[in-house]
Amino acid sequence: KAGVTQTPRYLIKTRGQQVTLSCSPISGHRSVSWYQQTPGQGLQFLFEYFSETQRNKGNFPGRFSGRQFSNSRSEMNVSTLELGDSALYLCASGRWEVSDTQYFGPGTRLTVL
């Protein structure tokens, strides 16, 4: 069974631009969560999607948004990029919910210049 995949793996953007990251969960998994990892703040929960609905949200500004498609693939979007958005963005999939074992993708490393 294929693992969680994320694209692209690396991305360089400039301040003010927007970016879209993609995550494909393990086949059969319906819950997709997104996390931001930075050296200063560690791993922080962004949001979780299930059946195309955002079910839970972390404490991030509205510039961070996401969606989930009917095949459970998810995208997250960051608009008006700031230098502080430079981070490793990880997505995780679970069978039904965050309470299930979480399987992480390899991450997208975003650099904002």
Which span (12-20, 21-29, 30-38, 64-72) binds other proteins, by CB under 8 A?
30-38
Q: What is 58-74 written as a DSSP string?
A: -S--TTEEEEE-TTS-E
Report the first-to-last Cα separation within the chain, whole angstroms: 37
Per-residue contact flags (x/-) with other proteins for residues 8 to 27, judged by CB under 8 A: --------------------
Whether 90 and 104 have beta carbons less than 8 Å apart is answered as: yes
* Residues at the site binding other proteins, with contacts judged by CB under 8 A: 33, 35, 37, 42-45, 48, 55-56, 58, 88, 90, 92, 97-104, 106-107, 109
